């Protein structure tokens, strides 16, 4: 059974997973996702204690990515262990989701993304005005 813990880090929701991310857990995780996605557009998944992931678990991560990108959000992952890292590489999901070694690098990348979005919006507003 997978355990998920949620922690607020500013405008980022850190989701720490522990156990096996498998089919039987995805339904509950999606329910929890919908509880949080109205308040957060950035999710950071901590895989430090994920011992195994199957295709349904991978599908859940891609589902979160799709939903959050629809509202200019994003998903990032850190602390991938060997089995999960291999799954992300084989399926090439690592080409659409940023993966980091540690939490601070991942959080900083969200901050850079937010600053880039603010600069872009400011430039657009100046052009329109």
pLDDT tens track for 94-116: 999 999 999 999 999 988 877 65
Q: What is the CATH number of domain 3-128?
A: 3.30.750.24
Q: Which of 5, 8, 77 is nearest to 40 (CA)?
A: 8
Q: Are 17 and 45 in contact (CB under 8 A)?
A: yes
The domain locations on the chain are 3-128
pLDDT of 80 above 50: yes
124 pLDDT band, cuts 50/70/90, is very low
Helix (H) or strand (E) holding 101: none
Query: Considering the entire predicted model, what is its pTM?
Result: 0.87
């Amino acid at each position: 059974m997978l355990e998920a813990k949620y922690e607020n880090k500013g405008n980022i929701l850190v989701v720490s997973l522990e156990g096996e991310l498998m089919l039987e857990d995805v339904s509950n995780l999606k329910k929890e996702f919908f509880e949080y996605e109205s308040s957060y557009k950035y999710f950071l998944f901590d895989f430090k204690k994920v011992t195994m992931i199957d295709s349904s678990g991978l599908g859940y991560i891609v589902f979160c990515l799709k939903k959050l990108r629809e509202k200019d959000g994003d998903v990032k992952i850190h602390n991938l262990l060997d089995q999960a890292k291999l799954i992300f590489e084989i399926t090439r999901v690592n080409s659409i989701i940023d993966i980091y070694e540690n939490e601070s690098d991942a959080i900083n990348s969200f901050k850079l993304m937010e600053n880039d979005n603010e600069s872009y919006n400011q430039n657009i507003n100046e052009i329109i005005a």
